[in-house]
Structure formats: structure tokens, C-alpha cells
Amino acid sequence: MAREIENFKFEHRHGKDRVRVGRVWRNKDGRYFFVEWNVSISLLSDCLPAYLLDDNSDIVATDTMKNTVYVKAKECSEQISMEDFAILLAKHFTSFYRQVTGAIIKIVEKPWERVYIDGQEHEHGFKLGSEKHTTEVFVKKSGALQVTSGIEGLALLKTTMSGFEGFIRDKYTVLPETRERILATEVTASWRYSYESLSSIPQKPYYFTDRYLDVKKVLVETFYGPPKQGVYSPSVQNTLHHMAKSVLNRFLDISSVQLKMPNIHFLPVNLKNKDDETIVKFNDDVYLPTDEPHGSIEASLSRFWSKM
């Protein structure tokens, strides 16, 4: 919250970070479901006296916020999406406490995924995966809402159908042009939903989880192209734009997309020995993987009516 105090602009919020919670559900068939969430809470509240007058009577203690996460997780008797849980928490804080005018809930899901044994899904076994599902929810006391979901650590690589040429060349340039290279990146993506109020959220149990999986599928398929022939990438920039545009074209409930795609380099290996004899001659086959330094490419794409 922002206030003017003695000719100064004063903004404040408080919350609790890194509240880790694991939740197990068991359905009627005896099958187990498991999630592990890392929850961060930030409250916008009318507790100015705590800062100015040593009066804590309007503060929601951060320990109380932590406990609320576990209480609300316990109350969720049915499996719930991460976004819906964030909305549930935000609604609680803005309705239960008169001092709280807004709540921002951020959650990162640890990527536990079900184990397959002999081609069959295990009833209660899970292993750790790779990319992480993220969300950020902002709810105001008025019922106004913003929901953003995302992916962190989506590692993608293709060994051909990628190049980079026609870029600016000057006295500082040593990078050769090419139409044949490895394209590798670790995608961080976020997308904002078009819903602007609590009452507009779809009342479907797994709506946000399903949409997360749908968006991830579109991002991956656009990056690689068809299984047999693939799709040529003239630059990370071009591929990024196609990925973002594919998401917006496919899902009308998403108003904007932001992508960060570092260009993780695989350098051609050419080696000569002490007698200047070539012992490794690069033929699009042997590379030196590097992660530092790497190219940094990011962009956002939104509909004209988006408020991103």
C-alpha cells in the first residue's frame, strides 16, 4: 500500500515466504495423488501504526499466515489445482481480515510425477521430474483478480534445423554465420489469464492444471515442429515469437504470454596436436557444451485488450 507521510511516499506490505507444504489425496479406488508446493504470501494491509507508532494491533502475524497454509491444505478434501489453492488463500486473507485490502500468493510446485513400472502407472509411487509449474494470484477485497501461471526450467534441444545468419557484422564480430547448429534453451514462460474477478473463474476442478499442460504442449510442439521433418529456426527470437503466438492463437482465455529463452551454446570442436595435425575435425558431430556466457532472449506478446 502507498501512503503520503510527511511529504514522503511510503509503500509497505508484509508476508511469509517459502512455506513448504505437501498434500496427499486418495481417491475411492485407493489411488494416491501428491503435490509439494512452495508458497509465498504478501499482504497489502492497513497496518500503518505498526510502522509509525509501535502499534502492532492491525498486523496479521507472518506465523499466522504460515499456519493458514496448512489449515487450508487440510480443508481441501478433494484434489485441487495450484492456482485454485492460491485463489483460496487470497480470498481467505482478504475476507477474514478487515485490515487486508489485497493478497498476492505465489506458488512453485515441485515436479513430482507418477512412476511407471513395467509400463503401468504406480498407485502410490512418484519420482522427481524437471520443469516446475508456477503461479501468482492477486486478489483485492473488492473481488478483483489477476491470475498468472507459468513454467520454469523447461529444457529443450534440437540437433538440427536451426541456424543464425544475416546479423550485423563489424570489427568486433567473430561469430560465423551458419544454417546448421544445435538449438538449446531453458524456457521460463508465464501467461496471464483474461479473468478479472473471482466470479469469472471457471468452476471446473482441474481447469488450471489442464490448461498448464495444454500450454506446455503447445510450447514444446512449436519449438520442435512435426516429428519427421521438424521446423527450421532462423533465430531464437523467431522461434520465441512463434511459440508465444501459438499459445495466444490456441487459448482465448489467455491474454498475454512472456517468454525467456537463453541461447545455451554448443561449440564446435576442432583439435590439433603439437605437430599441428588435425585430430578432431568438426563435421556437425562433436561439440563442447557451455552454459556461460549464454545469449539472453526474452519478449512478451499480448492481445490489444490485455492489461499486462
Classify burial at 177, counting beta carbons within 10 Å of its beta carbon; exposed 0-12, middle 13-18, buried 19 or more: exposed
Helices and strands per DSSP (H, E), number in the chain: 5, 16
* CA atoms of 232 and 219, how far apart (whole Å): 15
Estimate the crossing angle of helix 207-224 against helix 236-250, to 10 degrees: 140
- Return the SS3 of 210: helix
Specify whether 16 is catalytic. yes
Cα separation of the two ends of the chain: 20
Q: 12, 216, 265, 294: which is the annotated catalytic residue? A: 265
DSSP string, 23-73: EEEE-TTS-EEEEEEEEEEEEEE--HHHHHSS--TT---HHHHHHHHHHHH
Specify whether 122 is catalytic. no
Do the Cβ atoms of 211 and 189 come closer than 8 Å? no
Q: 14, 62, 122, 160: which is the annotated catalytic residue? A: 62
Tell the residue number behind the cell numbers 507459468, with chain if given: 150
Q: What are phi and psi of 55, to 5 degrees?
A: -115, 110
Long-range interactions of 276-282: CB distance < 8 A, separation 24+: none
* CA atoms of 212 and 109, how far apart (whole Å): 12
Specify whether 62 is catalytic. yes
Q: Which residues pair with 187 in a beta bridge?
A: 154
Q: 16, 106, 133, 158: which is the annotated catalytic residue? A: 16
Do the Cβ atoms of 190 and 257 come closer than 8 Å? yes
| CB-based contacts of 81, cutoff 8 Å, min separation 6 | 205, 206, 207, 208, 209
Q: Catalytic site residues? A: 16, 62, 265
